[in-house]
Amino acid sequence: MFSGKKVLITAGPTYEPLDPVRFIGNHSTGKMGFALARCLAEAGAEVSLVSGPTALTLDHALVHITPVMTADEMFAACAKVAPEADLWIFAAAVADYKPKDTATSKIKKSDASFTIELVKNVDIAATLGQQKREDQFAVGFALETDQELENARGKLLKKKLDMVVLNSLRDPGAGFKHDTNKITIVKAASVEEYALKNKDEVAQDILESIKAEWACLQKK
Ligand code: CTP
């Protein structure tokens, strides 16, 4: 099913600069997005991987990596590829906010306290979701601590996603800093729970689940 398909994947964190030497970021390693890119390329898909700063590398003829730093850069890179892509996977941990201003020189220490004004970043998944066609399939990720299912279902609707891969922070071994992940896949009409597995196995489970749902949607 994936052979010859064009896939857009976002991965890793975004870094939102405060000045030339400092940024606001998060602990995402990019492992989940890179594992999905590898599996899809091995299945014959042509993958555009738009990745925030990560230590990972991936050398595959079918994977084209666009390295980016900020959410704005990630959005610009995705917007170029999204219309042509059959499948969108938003695995990046995009910073929700960015500093309102970025200093051009290093900010010097002065007062006892220092306040940074933050403004909302573009929501890449939601913004692209507005132009999503019926023949395109979109997958989002969500890391929740409370009311996981309700929040995941909210994201399906808000971001026009066909499925949400939910990581619960309550599960030991799941999330950002681990090589393993424990996921629940939430779709409009079903909820699938999986055991704790390494991220390559999780990637396979996600792809199987995409296959099943996408096949159903295509029959409609
Ligand atoms: N996402 C995105 N752009 C953003 C924020 C999130 O594309 N600016 C994508 C993520 O890659 C993920 C999904 O949206 O696939 C959900 O991200 P999450 O941070 O859980 O959602 P938010 O809408 O930011 O909600 P919350 O208030 O729970 O942080």
DSSP track, 65-93: EEE--SHHHHHHHHHHHGGG-SEEEE--B
Rounded to the nearest angstrom, the distance between the alpha carbon of 191 and the centre of ligand 1 is 20
CA distance 14 to 196: 26
| Ligand 1 atom nearest 139 alpha carbon | 15
Q: Which domains can be identified in the chain, with CATH numbers?
A: 6-219 (3.40.50.10300)
Which band of pLDDT confidence, cut at 50, 70 and 90, is reported for residue 177? Answer: low
Count of helices and strands (H, E) across the chain: 5, 14
Site to substitute for ligand 1 among 16, 144, 159, most atoms within 8 A of C-beta: 159
Taking only the tens place, the pLDDT of each residue in 28-84 is 999 999 999 999 999 999 999 999 999 999 999 999 999 999 999 999 999 999 999
Q: Whose CA is nearest to atom 18 of ligand 1?
A: 142
Q: Whose CA is nearest to atom 17 of ligand 1?
A: 142
Selected residue with higher pLDDT from 170 and 55: 55
The pLDDT of residue 218: 78
pTM of the model: 0.95
Site to substitute for ligand 1 among 96, 119, 120, 166, most atoms within 8 A of C-beta: 96
